[in-house]
């Protein structure tokens, strides 16, 4: 993997770059869609390739349990297995293990506690984390080494070291302990990776929760190691302003010459606020999940497909949109499909929203090239 | 609409024909997929067109309640509304009204009684049938005239007159009474249709349940009227042999020079047994429903996608299959998508099964052309 900066904005930290991977180019800044199980929900990967989505995020946790890394290895890797020609990034599996155990920040803040999805952490030790499979209840040991070995079998273009996702409500001492272990885990992950690079790049995950000093410490520790890029993970704060403030302090400590990634954030407002801070890639299930809920993204804002006024809207969702959905179907038809609870609605809405994201990021890159952002 | 017989088999009543409609040709015998709400489940109509499915069945009952015939008329008709270029057939709405009230034959035989889907017949009279909308509980009056007017708004290539679907367990007297009213309704439907043909063809529906004499009477009555084709509806018997026996007696009474259609039957065994009896078209949700349940159709029989042995089947579902799914994805990937409960599985399996049906019917036509069937 190589990274090239085409233009540094004169107005902000925003930059336009290009990541070269074995499966093609990722123009940055860019949006990364989430295909947890090796597919975007309600879409097939050939269609996704044709939309021009340059990077897809797949979850090692889910793929570890189903179909398992051995099946994917025998298939010739994730790209061949899932019929995708363009780049893929996988995470370590840690995020899901811990977020299923602790619940997400939102769950915590709403006192929803741990999700009852059957994911269950049995033991966290220096070695790694032992959890029960949500599929069959069998115990699975995830260590820096087994995570990287799994990610070698999957064969994504970009992989991620094992980290711990501490709960949002954690004392400073515990956060420190967690961070230090995460650093050791990431270092072990890197060492395992460097035994056999296999044409993959590895991004570190900068942690430290909402503590600025720990974030600084994490950036210092990790950027001293030969990672290919840097992701930002862990608790980013309770609110968007908190997140933005944290990133403002952190981003100057992240090497400009390497690509970076903001984990799990990619809603429209966050993109607008974080691209000027110099973030290169963002992953989020927001546009596809919104699509399945009938929220269609347009330059004039979100359109709720099921709204009564759309029953007779015989034009496309957005005038001039060149996506498959807008080329072939009207908003009135989508309205009807949502009303009739047809799965086809989810597919057509997802195609549109994903296409919207691809075009939106192109507009961001153009704006940066012109120093407008 | 015109109908041309290209070849009459020397071995059976099977024939190869061609129906010319305003939206293109339907080669017969052919399979007709069911897109109740104006879409095949989990597929978009552009994809369906590209598979080469020449005729799609849409249900007036569902479209009447959502989005309503006026919306479709304003959209410029069903073809424009749903983005389909190839021919469409709609039914009268009667089948669903009555089957929701009485339950299907299978429901009856299993003593399941009427389905609890909220469809509810309030009154059947000479005028028509009054029922409650399953969507909002409002009363809807379906008469021969309102059904045809709705089907005029929808604008399918082939339309169907209003009929009554009597329950399977009905006394002979009641069946006779029902048949006579159905005949009057069909005649009224035809008269309504002939006021404004609007380039649509109308198929009568031959009734008479499982009584050979009434079937004969129904065929005599309806074939004396200027219908463009003849569908066979009502109870076809408890078992496949009963259905085949009934059709053996009935088909010689159906005019050979007009196309005919067997309503609601299209499983593989029925096709094999009924094509030699001279049936031209068959509609069924079997291949798409089977697909959603993970049953993939191949020339060597059904393949259950979720079977453990398919986890490592890195070749397509069927060697040499030219469908989108088989060209781009392996059976192992489909196995995984079904295991992971991804909607994409339903789409890819439906594409394959529908393509299989298109090719299967082509093989039947070739066999007839060679007098092998």
B346: chain A residues, CB-CB within 8 Å: 343
Q: What is the per-residue burial (b if ≥16 Cβ within 10 Å, else e) of B210-239?
A: bbeebbebbbebbbeeebbbbbbbbbbbee
B362 occurs within a structural domain: no
Q: How far is A294 from chain B (nearest CA, A)?
A: 16
Q: What ranges in chain A are assigned the alpha helix state H? A: 45-51, 60-65, 69-75, 78-82, 94-102, 105-109, 144-154, 172-194, 212-223, 240-250, 268-274, 286-292, 324-328, 331-339, 343-369
Considering chain A, what percentage of its residues have pLDDT values greater than 90?
87
- Does residue A309 register a pLDDT over 80? yes
Enumerate the β-bridge partners of residue A3.
A19
A76/B44 Cβ within 8 A: no
B40: chain A residues, CB-CB within 8 Å: 344
A335: chain B residues, CB-CB within 8 Å: 67
Q: Which of B192, B201, B152 is nearest to B23 (CA)?
A: B201
Q: What is the pLDDT of residues A282-300, one digit of tens each?
A: 999 999 999 999 999 999 9
Q: What is the pLDDT of residues B285-301, one digit of tens each?
A: 999 999 999 999 999 99
Cα A243 to Cα A240: distance, rounded to the nearest angstrom? 5
Residue B38 touches partner A, C-beta closer than 8 Å: yes
How far is residue B192 from each of residues B125, B188, B198, B200, measured CA to CA in Å? Answer: 18, 6, 12, 12
Residue with tokens 């290209």: B6
A76/B333 Cβ within 8 A: no
B82/A39 Cβ within 8 A: no
Q: How far apart are the first and last CA of chain B?
A: 27
For residues A127 and A264, membership in a common domain is answered with: yes
Q: What is the pLDDT of residues B259-277, one digit of tens each?
A: 999 999 999 999 999 999 9
B332/A81 Cβ within 8 A: yes
The number of folded domains in chain B is: 2
CATH number of the domain bearing residue A278? 3.20.20.105
Q: What is the pLDDT of residues B165-194, one digit of tens each?
A: 988 788 999 999 999 999 999 999 999 999
A293 occurs within a structural domain: no
Band (A104; pLDDT cuts 50, 70, 90): low
ipTM: 0.95
Q: Is A70 a catalytic residue?
A: no
- The per-residue pLDDT for B104 is 60
- The per-residue pLDDT for B110 is 59
Residue B77 touches partner A, C-beta closer than 8 Å: no
Higher pLDDT, A128 or A170: A128
- Does residue A115 register a pLDDT over 90? no
Angle in degrees, CA B341, B344, B347, rounded to 5: 120
A71/B336 Cβ within 8 A: yes
A235 occurs within a structural domain: yes
DSSP assigned state of A155: T
For residues A25 and A92, membership in a common domain is answered with: yes
- The per-residue pLDDT for A167 is 82
- Does residue B35 register a pLDDT over 70? yes
Task: From the candidates A27, A44, A91, A228, give the one annotated as an active-site residue.
Answer: A91
Q: Which two tokens stand for residue A312?
A: 């007779």
How far is residue A7 from each of residues A365, A367, B159, B170, measured CA to CA in Å? Answer: 9, 11, 62, 80
B364 occurs within a structural domain: no
B81: chain A residues, CB-CB within 8 Å: 330, 332-333, 336
Query: Which of B39, B50, B78, B292 has the most A C-beta neighbours within 10 Å, making it the best mutation to test the interface with A?
Result: B39
Exposed/middle/buried for B322, CB within 10 Å: 0-12, 13-18, 19+?
exposed
Q: What is the pLDDT of residues A58-103, one digit of tens each?
A: 999 999 999 999 999 999 999 999 999 999 999 999 998 888 777 6
For residues B255 and B169, membership in a common domain is answered with: yes
B306 occurs within a structural domain: yes
Cα A151 to Cα A76: distance, rounded to the nearest angstrom? 13
Q: What is the pLDDT of residues B120-151, one digit of tens each?
A: 888 899 999 999 888 888 899 999 999 999 99
A42/B343 Cβ within 8 A: yes
For residues B310 and B230, membership in a common domain is answered with: no
DSSP B52-91: T---EEE-HHHHHHTT-HHHHHHHTSHHHHHT--S-EEE-
- Does residue B367 register a pLDDT over 70? yes
A83/B347 Cβ within 8 A: no
A37: chain B residues, CB-CB within 8 Å: 336-337, 340, 342
Q: Which of A1, A21, A46, A29 is nearest to A266 (CA)?
A: A29
Is pTM beyond 0.90? Reply is yes
Residue A41 touches partner B, C-beta closer than 8 Å: yes
For residues B336 and B224, membership in a common domain is answered with: no
Residue A304 touches partner B, C-beta closer than 8 Å: no
Residue A339 touches partner B, C-beta closer than 8 Å: yes
A289 occurs within a structural domain: no
Domain end among A237, A261, A284: A284
For residues A201 and A79, membership in a common domain is answered with: yes
Query: Which of B49, B67, B289 has the most A C-beta neighbours within 10 Å, making it the best mutation to test the interface with A?
Result: B67
B339/A71 Cβ within 8 A: no
Residue A267 touches partner B, C-beta closer than 8 Å: no
A71/B312 Cβ within 8 A: yes
Q: How far is A124 from chain B (nearest CA, A)?
A: 27
For residues A159 and A238, membership in a common domain is answered with: yes
DSSP B165-215: ---SS--HHHHHHHHHHHHHHHHHHHHHHHT--TT-EEEEEE--TT-HHHH
DSSP assigned state of A35: -
- Does residue A111 register a pLDDT over 70? no
For residues B117 and B15, membership in a common domain is answered with: yes
Q: How far is B172 from chain A (nearest CA, A)?
A: 38
Cα B356 to Cα B362: distance, rounded to the nearest angstrom? 10
Residue B349 touches partner A, C-beta closer than 8 Å: no
A82/B333 Cβ within 8 A: yes
The minimal CB distance from A339 to the residues B41, B67, B324 is found for: B67
B337: chain A residues, CB-CB within 8 Å: 37-39
Residue A333 touches partner B, C-beta closer than 8 Å: yes
Helices B144-154 & B172-194, crossing angle to 10 degrees? 50
Domain end among A250, A284, A318: A284
For residues A97 and A64, membership in a common domain is answered with: yes
Structural domain including A189 reads 2-284
Task: From the candidates A107, A163, A283, A371, give the one annotated as an active-site residue.
Answer: A283
Q: Edge-to-edge, what's the strand order for the sheet holding B139-142?
A: B120-124, B129-132, B139-142
- The per-residue pLDDT for B233 is 95
Residue with tokens 């009303």: A339
**A191-205, A255-269, B169-183: the lowest-pLDDT one:** B169-183
Residue A328 touches partner B, C-beta closer than 8 Å: yes
Residue A332 touches partner B, C-beta closer than 8 Å: yes
| Whether B114 contacts B97, CB under 8 Å | no
- Does residue A314 register a pLDDT over 90? yes
DSSP assigned state of A239: S
For residues A329 and A280, membership in a common domain is answered with: no
- Does residue B75 register a pLDDT over 80? yes
Cα A158 to Cα A200: distance, rounded to the nearest angstrom? 6
- Does residue A340 register a pLDDT over 70? yes
For residues B263 and B343, membership in a common domain is answered with: no
Exposed/middle/buried for A126, CB within 10 Å: 0-12, 13-18, 19+?
exposed
For residues B278 and B313, membership in a common domain is answered with: no
B340: chain A residues, CB-CB within 8 Å: 37-38, 62, 66
Domain end among B253, B284, B315: B284
A80 occurs within a structural domain: yes
Q: How many CB pairs under 8 A join A and B?
A: 118
A43/B329 Cβ within 8 A: no
Query: Which of B46, B313, B333 has the most A C-beta neighbours within 10 Å, making it the best mutation to test the interface with A?
Result: B333
Residue A66 touches partner B, C-beta closer than 8 Å: yes
Mean pLDDT (chain B, rounded): 94
User: What is the signed CA dihedral for A129, A134, A138, A141, rounded to 10 degrees?
Assistant: -20
A343/B81 Cβ within 8 A: no
A358 occurs within a structural domain: yes
Residue A43 touches partner B, C-beta closer than 8 Å: yes
A38/B71 Cβ within 8 A: no
* Residues of B catalogued as catalytic: 91, 283
Q: How far is A360 from chain B (nearest CA, A)?
A: 25
- The per-residue pLDDT for B311 is 98
A37 to chain B: closest CA residue: B340
Q: How far is B151 from chain A (nearest CA, A)?
A: 18
A67/B342 Cβ within 8 A: no
């Amino acid at each position: 993997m190589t990274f090239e900066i085409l233009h540094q904005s004169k107005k902000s930290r925003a930059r336009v770059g290009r990541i070269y991977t074995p499966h093609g180019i990722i123009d940055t800044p860019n949006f990364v869609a989430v295909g947890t199980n090796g597919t975007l929900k309600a879409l097939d990967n050939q269609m996704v390739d044709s939309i021009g989505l340059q990077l897809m995020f797949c979850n090692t946790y889910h793929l570890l349990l189903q179909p398992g890394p051995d099946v994917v290895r025998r298939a010739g890797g994730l790209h061949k297995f899932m019929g995708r020609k363009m780049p893929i990034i996988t995470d370590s599996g840690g995020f899901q293990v811990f977020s299923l155990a602790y619940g997400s920040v939102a769950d915590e803040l709403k006192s929803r506690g741990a999700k009852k999805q059957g994911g269950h952490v049995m033991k966290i030790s220096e070695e790694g984390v032992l959890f029960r499979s949500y599929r069959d209840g069998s115990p699975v040991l995830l260590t820096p080494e087994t995570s990287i070995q799994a990610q070698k079998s999957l064969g994504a273009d970009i992989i991620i070291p094992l980290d711990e996702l501490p709960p949002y409500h954690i004392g400073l001492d515990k956060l420190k302990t967690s961070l230090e272990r995460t650093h050791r885990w990431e270092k072990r992950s890197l060492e395992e990776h460097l035994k056999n690079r296999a044409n993959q790049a590895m991004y570190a995950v900068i942690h430290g929760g909402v503590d600025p000093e720990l974030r600084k410490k994490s950036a210092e520790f990790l950027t001293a190691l030969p990672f290919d890029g840097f992701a930002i993970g862990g608790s980013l704060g309770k609110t968007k302003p908190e997140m933005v403030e944290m990133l403002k302090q952190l981003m100057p400590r992240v090497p400009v010459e390497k690509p970076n990634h903001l984990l799990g954030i990619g809603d429209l407002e966050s993109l607008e606020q974080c691209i000027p801070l110099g973030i290169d890639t963002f992953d989020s299930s927001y546009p596809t999940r919104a699509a399945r809920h009938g929220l269609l993204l347009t330059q004039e804002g979100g359109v709720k497909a099921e709204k009564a006024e759309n029953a007779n809207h015989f034009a496309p969702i957005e005038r001039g949109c060149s996506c498959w959905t807008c080329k072939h179907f009207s908003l009135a038809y989508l309205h009807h499909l949502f009303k009739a609870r047809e799965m086809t609605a989810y597919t057509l809405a997802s195609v549109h929203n994903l296409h919207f994201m691809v075009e939106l990021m192109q507009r961001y890159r153009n704006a940066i090239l012109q120093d407008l952002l």
